[in-house]
Amino acid sequence: MRLVRGAKALSEYLKNINCDMSEATIYRLVKQQNIPFKRPAPGILIFDLNAIDKWLSYEDVTSI
28-49: pLDDT as tens digits: 999 999 999 999 999 999 999 9
Number of C-beta neighbours around residue 47 at 10 A = 24
- Rounded CA-CA distance 5/29 in Å is 16
Question: Using 50, 70 and 90 to split pLDDT, how confident is the model at 12?
Answer: very high
Is the predicted pLDDT of residue 60 greater than 90, yes or no? no
The model's pTM is 0.87
- The residue-averaged pLDDT of 6-11 equals 98
pLDDT at 58: 82
Q: Nearest 5°: phi and psi at 19?
A: -135, 65
pLDDT at 1: 85
